[in-house]
């Protein structure tokens, strides 16, 4: 009890409120560039009012009715999107798709190409695509349909996490908003590894939140986070966040046996992640598919690109040409390291760059309309899709801001520990991307965790009542 009283995470809730509040501000500033702000504010007010009005009906809904609604919205909208737009694979997605087609035929010569030599960690997702293509007879539609299922599954996991932390009604709000969020719907036609990794990482976080309730949850969490890392190399980031979360729980607890149990489960989870990476890498080496473990052979690349003030931390042909002028290995690493040192040499310029990158990742319009529509006959819908996304993002960032205000006001609440994990992951993700390469679509990697906070704020908004007036004397 004494340790519990010392547990006062109000600083984290305050920082979280600033985090989400800045996203509201940057979204408004971004919208003002093309006068969209005059549409955004009335639409935001209408959206908030609609959510406020339907919350009692959502709360009273029977479980089966809600599940049918959630799965129908998430699955139906995503299925409609892949039927409506036929996005051709291009950019890195084209490279991995072509490689997957080769792998499905048993041909692995693509691993010797420059792309997979530099970043052979992309083999995890490529082999996953190859597996689906093999089962479906080479169907591109099958890959997209599985993404529909994964997006629907992610909405269900968002519900599970939000319900675990904030209760059933808040979970329903968060899950439905995730199901309806336009970027995740549009990206269903794009062959990005984010669909599968989002599902696996979110499911891993769900199991982590239940570590103190389930004896076997540690291996399920490790399996999900480990598989997620094979698909998209964010596993180290998630494991680090979970370890910090585990340390926070250890500090909170005054029960030696409970502390030992939690420490063993966190360590066991991390061990499963490491073991899974080693087994997968070893199996590829044994089959002569690769000549080494899955990793980036160019470890300084993303940091060098991320510190390019001229592109606000985005990829540029100049950086690509500079790196490619040196042979892969020690010479290229040294050249990129020298470029990094030069870009770090001006603290004032670096500070401005970090601020601009933060605005890009959390305040600018999502790029999903570009990825999904620009190479199709639906290109004309990009502008409208962007406007709808801006309205949605302002609404969800507002609700998340309210949720953190409620946590701050209540000083902790029953959801304190789990909410701290999500804030650690969101804050850590934002911090890392201040320095490495950034694209707006990278925001989608933590979108399930982001939207978990939405429902708690809306429930609080609906429950707030003005003080009753005293009768006249």
pLDDT at 1: 37
Ordered alpha helix ranges (H), 210-346: 217-231, 235-252, 256-286, 301-306, 317-324, 330-343
The rounded distance, in Å, linking the Cα atoms of 201 and 153 is: 12
Contact 426, 399 (CB under 8 A): no
Smallest CA-to-CA distance from 160 within 436, 440, 434, 418 is with: 418
Q: Write the burial class of residue 159 (CB in 10 Å: 0-12 exposed, 13-18 middle, 19+ buried).
A: buried
Residue 234 sits at the vertex; the CA angle it makes with 415 and 338, to the nearest 5 degrees, is 130
**pLDDT digits over 26-55, tens only?**
999 888 877 677 888 899 999 999 999 999
**pLDDT digits over 328-377, tens only?**
999 999 999 999 999 999 999 999 999 999 999 999 999 999 999 998 99
The rounded distance, in Å, linking the Cα atoms of 4 and 14 is: 19
The rounded distance, in Å, linking the Cα atoms of 260 and 427 is: 27
The rounded distance, in Å, linking the Cα atoms of 189 and 402 is: 33
**pLDDT digits over 82-131, tens only?**
999 999 998 899 999 999 999 999 999 999 999 998 888 899 999 999 99
pLDDT at 2: 42
The rounded distance, in Å, linking the Cα atoms of 119 and 3 is: 46
The rounded distance, in Å, linking the Cα atoms of 190 and 134 is: 19
Smallest CA-to-CA distance from 438 within 368, 336, 370, 360 is with: 360
Binned at pLDDT 50, 70 and 90, residue 5 comes out as very low
**pLDDT digits over 224-244, tens only?**
999 999 999 998 899 999 988
User: What values do phi and psi take at 138, rounded to 5?
Assistant: 85, 25
Which is more confident, 63 or 247? 63
Contact 137, 148 (CB under 8 A): no
Q: Quick one: DSSP state of residue 441?
A: G
User: What values do phi and psi take at 210, rounded to 5?
Assistant: -105, 15
Smallest CA-to-CA distance from 30 within 411, 278, 258, 359 is with: 359
The distance in angstroms from the start CA to the end CA of the chain is 46
């Amino acid at each position: 009890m004494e340790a519990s009283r010392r547990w006062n995470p109000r600083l984290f809730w305050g920082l979280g409120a600033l985090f989400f509040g800045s996203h509201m501000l940057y979204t408004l500033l971004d919208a003002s560039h093309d006068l969209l702000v005059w549409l955004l504010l009335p639409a935001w007010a209408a959206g908030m009012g609609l959510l406020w009005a339907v919350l009692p009906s959502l709360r009273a809904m029977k479980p089966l009715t809600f599940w049918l609604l959630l799965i129908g919205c998430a699955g139906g909208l995503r299925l409609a999107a892949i039927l409506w737009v036929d996005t051709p694979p291009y950019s890195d997605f084209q490279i991995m798709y072509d490689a997957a087609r080769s792998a499905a035929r048993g041909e692995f010569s693509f691993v010797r190409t420059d792309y997979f030599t530099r970043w052979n960690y992309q083999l995890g997702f490529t082999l996953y695509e190859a597996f689906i293509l093999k089962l479906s007879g080479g169907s591109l539609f099958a890959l997209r349909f599985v993404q529909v299922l994964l997006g629907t599954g992610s909405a269900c996991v968002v519900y599970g996490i939000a319900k675990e932390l904030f209760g059933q009604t808040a979970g329903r709000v968060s899950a439905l908003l995730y199901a309806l969020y336009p970027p995740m719907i549009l990206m269903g036609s794009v062959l990005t590894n984010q669909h599968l990794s989002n599902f696996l990482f979110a499911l891993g976080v769900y199991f982590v939140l239940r570590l103190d309730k389930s004896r076997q949850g540690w291996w399920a969490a490790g399996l999900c986070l480990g598989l997620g890392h094979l698909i998209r190399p964010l596993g180290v980031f998630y494991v680090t966040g979970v370890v910090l979360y585990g340390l926070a729980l250890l500090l909170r607890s005054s029960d030696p046996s409970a502390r030992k149990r939690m420490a063993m489960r966190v360590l066991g989870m991390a061990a499963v992640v490491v073991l899974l990476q080693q087994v997968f890498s070893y199996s590829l080496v044994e089959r002569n598919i690769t000549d080494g473990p899955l990793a980036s052979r160019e470890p300084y690349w993303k940091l060098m690109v991320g510190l390019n003030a001229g592109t606000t931390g985005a990829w540029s042909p100049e950086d690509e040409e500079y790196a490619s002028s040196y042979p892969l290995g020690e010479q290229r690493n040294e050249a990129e390291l020298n470029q990094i040192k030069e870009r770090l040499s001006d603290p004032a310029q670096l500070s401005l760059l970090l601020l601009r990158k933060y605005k890009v990742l959390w305040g600018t319009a999502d790029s999903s309309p570009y990825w999904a529509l620009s190479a199709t006959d639906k290109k004309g819908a990009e502008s409208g899709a962007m406007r709808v996304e801006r309205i949605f993002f302002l609404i969800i960032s507002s609700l998340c801001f309210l949720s953190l205000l409620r946590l701050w006001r209540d000083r902790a609440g029953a959801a304190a520990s789990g909410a701290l994990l999500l804030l650690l992951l969101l804050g850590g993700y934002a911090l890392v991307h201040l320095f490495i390469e950034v694209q707006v679509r990278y925001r989608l990697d933590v979108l399930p965790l982001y939207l978990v906070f939405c429902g708690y704020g809306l429930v609080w908004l609906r429950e707030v009542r003005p003080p009753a007036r005293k009768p006249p004397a």
